[in-house]
Amino acid sequence: NAGVTQTPKFQVLKTGQSMTLQCAQDMNHEYMSWYRQDPGMGLRLIHYSVGAGITDQGEVPNGYNVSRSTTEDFPLRLLSAAPSQTSVYFCASGGRSPQHFGDGTRLSIL
């Protein structure tokens, strides 16, 4: 089925470790974004991209890096994980159409 695919679905890290959350879409959307969801805070925009080679910061970008080398992929990198980054992460794609969301990655930092 067409849509937004996120991997992994679950991950546990130790403080200071690095990892990359993967996001891929097959709808040829120009716009892609990453959100984090925390209890009582809704979804907050981390980074977004309006096309290959173009990225920008959202509301809560600190501690995260992104790149967009292809239209399809938009990975999110945690360089040195901190307990405050424990959250559920959602990738979304859209543009001319409203954003489609992946099923999320549940990340715990110990």
Partner 1 sequence: AQSVTQLGSHVSVSEGALVLLRCNYSSSVPPYLFWYVQYPNQGLQLLLKYTTGATLVKGINGFEAEFKKSETSFHLTKPSAHMSDAAEYFCAVSEANFGNEKLTFGTGTRLTIIP
CB of 22 to partner 1, least distance (A): 15
Residue with tokens 């859209």: 94
Q: How far apart are alpha carbons 4 and 12 in whole angstroms?
A: 22
Coil/strand/helix, residue 39: coil
Nearer to partner 1, 3 or 16 (CB): 3
Are the CB atoms for 66 and 22 separated by under 8 Å? no
Nearer to partner 1, 59 or 80 (CB): 59
Site residues for partner 1 per CB under 8 A: 4, 31, 33, 35, 40-45, 48, 50, 58-59, 90, 92, 94-104
